[in-house]
Amino acid sequence: MTQTVLALTLLASGMSGDKGLEAVSLARETLARELGVGAGAFVVRTVEAVEWSDTSLGCPEKGMSYAQVIVPGHRVVLEHAGRAHHVHIGGGRAVRCKPSPS
């Protein structure tokens, strides 16, 4: 059932195929490891194909420098325990984007 919902989410967002599924899988694994929960604990909210403008994948860290190259990837939003988590995928890796301190 989860695969069916994910496939419908990808189709609704204009995506299909293995790349979107791979992005969601990598996002789930990365977030599960960081939060210490099972990868199946997340609900997929959105999956969007994007082209990142550099290797920070849209989540630059202060004091770091990044190669200025176009990186094809995905923006994935997963939900767990009522909270949305943004994970950016590109170049075979995933980066959890944390909100900027206000």
User: What's the pLDDT tens digit per position in 4-47?
Assistant: 444 444 444 444 558 899 999 999 999 999 999 999 999 999 99
Tell me, what's the pLDDT at 3? 46
Q: How many residues does the chain have?
A: 102
Looking at residue 44, what DSSP letter applies?
A: E
Distances (CA, A) of 5 to 21, 44, 46, 70, 101: 12, 9, 11, 30, 33
Give me the pLDDT at residue 18, please.
Answer: 81
Tokens of 74: 């995905």
Query: At residue 52, does pLDDT exceed 60?
Result: yes
Kindly report the CA angle at 59 between 14 and 85, in degrees rounded to 5? 60
Q: What is the pLDDT of residue 14?
A: 46
Share of the chain above pLDDT 70, in %: 79
Question: Which helix (H) or strand (E) covers residue 8, if one does?
Answer: helix 2-12
Q: How high does pLDDT run on average in the chain? A: 86
